[in-house]
């Protein structure tokens, strides 16, 4: 029973994530991560097919694991996050909520930039330092 529930949830999150490729307000990456989570726990065959798919490689493997994202991709990502955060900020007249959304948005910008760009430079520096000492 649990296996079929995970397969069903994985299928739903896969469908939503795939639609998110075409609709900018749906976060493809989050739904694909959930798909991997559900299918890993339910079906090795589905999970292996999923992680070998072109979309998984593009949106998860290259971006989050290998950290290969272009500056254009970073800007697009931050603009989409800004749009998502701006919708409630515009619709609801609440200063505390707007300030909170602004802080969370800035945390996303700094945190994701550090994660996707900062660690890459540190590992490159350590490799160069190691090569110089040999």
Q: Angle formed by the axes of helices 44-51 and 28-40, to 10°?
A: 150
Report d(CA 16, CA 21) in Å as an integer: 9
Q: Kindly tell me if the per-residue pLDDT of 73 is higher than 90.
A: no
- The Cα-based distances of 33 to 16, 30, 52, 53, 60 in angstroms read 12, 5, 14, 13, 8
The domain limits of the chain are 1-66, 69-124
Q: How many helices (H) and strands (E) does the chain have?
A: 7, 0
Q: What mean pLDDT do residues 44-68 have?
A: 89
DSSP, res 134: -
- Structure confidence at residue 119 (pLDDT): 56
pTM of the predicted model as reported, rounded to 2 decimal places: 0.65
**pLDDT per residue as tens digits for the range 80-123:** 889 888 999 999 999 999 999 999 999 999 998 998 887 555 55
């Amino acid at each position: 029973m649990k296996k079929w529930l995970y397969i069903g949830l994985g299928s739903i999150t896969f469908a939503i994530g795939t639609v998110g490729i075409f609709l900018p307000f749906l976060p493809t990456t989050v739904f694909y991560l959930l798909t991997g989570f559900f299918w890993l726990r339910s079906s090795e065959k589905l999970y292996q097919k999923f992680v070998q798919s072109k979309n998984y490689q593009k949106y998860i493997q290259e971006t989050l694991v290998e950290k290969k994202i272009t500056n254009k991709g970073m800007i697009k990502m931050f603009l989409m996050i800004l749009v998502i955060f701006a919708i409630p900020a515009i619709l609801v007249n609440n200063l505390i909520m707007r300030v909170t959304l602004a802080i969370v948005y800035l945390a996303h910008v700094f945190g994701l930039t550090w994660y996707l760009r900062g660690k890459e430079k540190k590992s490159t520096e350590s490799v160069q330092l190691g090569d110089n000492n040999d």
